[in-house]
Amino acid sequence: MVRPMSTSTEHEPRDFPLAPPGTMGPPANYAALQRECPVTRVRMLIDATAWYVTRYEDVRAVLADPRFVRPTINAWPVPAVDQPSSGPELVTMMEMDGPRHRALRQAVAQSFSARAARARESRVRARAEELLADVERLGPPADLVAAFAEPFPLLVMCDLVGIPADDREFFLPLADAALGAMVTLEEGRRATERLRDYLTDLLAYKEREPADDVLTDLVRRRDSGALTQEELIAFGLSMLVAGYRTSTMFLANAVLTLVSHPERFDALRNDPTLVPGAVEELLRFLPVMNGVVVLLATEDVELRGRRIRAGEAVLPIIPAANRDHSVFSDPDRFDPRRRPNPHLSFGRGTHNCVGVHLARLELTAALQSLTSRFPALRLAVPEHRIPWDDDSPAKSPLRLPVSW
């Protein structure tokens, strides 16, 4: 494990940039940081500091640089001597490196390939249509977070992976706590233990009752010696914490971005060929999960004249990179016709998102179903009355009241 050295004293850390309350952001000072201080130290929302990296070129380089590794929640911040870390590690595919990481990615590659996404397209669209038919039947107003943005990615993920959707009342609060571990560290560590126990029991069930899903396939590979139990648990945690919950937040923000500006929604309704470009632009435009990718330097690294010492934390801010004026013309404008659109939302290098094709399929199906079924979809309340969870940098609306 990499142990942090003493923190650099070149300048006092800045406050962690946060979006204004009641919004998804992004923080207003991205452009200023890119222009004036693209690599700067910030105070985290926990008792730690980190290097905050905002320029596209630097973020792109850091994400693929093997000198930076992602720590588990028990490895960083390193506890004080009188408060040793305890509890199980939250190890997802993001924290894994080397041969075992490659073996796990190869094991799931076919299930998450572009070809597999195309094969599942009709099932994913059917899920979207089923949920939206229920919304239409119950009539306006409707909360699209509870009725669609949360259950749709959940059902798609559960169907593919083999996690019982009926267990969601148990695992969703734990997944939220684990996802917020960089804010509520101890709560995240406690949630991890319960999630690991849940996945251990689920894997044992898959061994007894095999099915046509990814977890069953991974159990067979484990039993043949190709994978370990820890690698299977890491995959399960990846799906619950990153693969599902980030998708629900992203979808809620995407719908809000469109319906709060009716001209955007109307453009997609009137010209469905714009939807693929809109999906890529939403991926670039939405600052979901601001600054929660934490990496540790394994050796001293020079970046923009700053010396990042071995063991110090670095935050490559993907939402800032996605709005870098040197790469994107008029980056604060939503433009579904933007070409090219080399956003970094799925990461880069060996840890780029394994679910990239499924994520694109989900968002495309959601937007096409919404615009065709509800051509007059609009917010049912003024935007400033939409409730938000402002205690976390992972910003998305708690409810999204709409009418049509």
Over residues 334-354, the pLDDT tens digits come to: 999 999 999 999 999 888 999
Which residues are 397's β-sheet partners?
Answer: 388
Distances from the Cα of 246 to the Cα of 60, 157, 236, 346, angstroms = 21, 12, 15, 12
Q: What is residue 338's three-state secondary structure? A: coil
CB 274 within 8 Å of CB 267? yes
| 269 touches 375 (CB < 8 A) | yes
What pLDDT, in 10s, does the model give residues 236-264?
Answer: 988 987 777 788 889 999 999 999 999 99
Q: How far apart are CA 284 and CA 289, in angstroms?
A: 12
Tokens at 259, concatenated:
């319906």
Question: Is residue 337 within 8 Å of residue 29, measured between CB atoms?
Answer: no
The residue with greater pLDDT, 207 or 92, is 207
Report the residue count for the chain. Answer: 404
Backbone angle region of 34, left / alpha / beta, with phi > 0 → left and psi within -120 to 50 → alpha: alpha
159: Cβ contacts below 8 Å, ≥ 6 apart: 123, 127, 165, 213
Average pLDDT, the chain: 89
Q: Is-contact 358 214, C-beta < 8 A? A: no
In this predicted structure, what is the pLDDT of residue 73? 65
Q: How far apart are CA 366 and CA 27, in angstroms?
A: 27
Query: Looking at residue 290, what is its pLDDT?
Result: 66
Q: Look at 6-20, 143-157, 166-180, 245-259 and tell me which has the smallest mean pLDDT.
A: 6-20
Assigned token pair, 130: 């089923």
Domain annotation for the chain: domains and CATH numbers:
14-403 (1.10.630.10)
305: region left, alpha or beta (phi > 0 left; psi from -120 to 50 alpha): left
| Global confidence as pTM | 0.90
- pLDDT value for 358: 95
Higher model confidence: residue 219 or residue 396? 219
Q: Which two tokens mark 20?
A: 């204004």
Model confidence band, residue 216 (pLDDT cutoffs 50, 70, 90)? very high
| CB-based contact 310:16 (threshold 8 Å) | no
DSSP string, 175-187: HHHHHTTTTSHHH
Task: Report the distance separating Cα 180 and Cα 177, nearest Å.
Answer: 5
- The answer, yes or no, to whether residue 80 has pLDDT greater than 60, is no
Cis peptide, bond prior to residue 393, ω within 30 of zero:
no
pLDDT at 242: 73
Name the phi and psi angles at 307, rounded to 5. -95, 110
Beta-strand pair 39-43/49-53: antiparallel
The predicted structure's pLDDT at residue 119: 97
Strand partners, 306: 303
Q: How many percent of the chain have pLDDT more than 90?
A: 69
E strands in 207-312:
295-297, 301-303, 306-308
Query: Which is nearest to 194 in space by CA: 226, 157, 237?
Result: 237
pLDDT of residue 20: 86
Look at residue 87 in the predicted model and tell me its pLDDT: 52
359 band by pLDDT with thresholds 50, 70 and 90: very high
Can you give the pLDDT at residue 5?
Answer: 37
Alpha carbon 333 to its chain centroid, in Å, reads 22
Paired tokens of 6: 């003493």
Confidence of residue 92 (pLDDT cuts 50, 70, 90): confident
pLDDT digits (tens, 9 = 90+) for 305-326: 999 999 999 999 999 999 999 9
To the nearest 10°, the Cα dihedral for 198, 345, 391, 37? 140
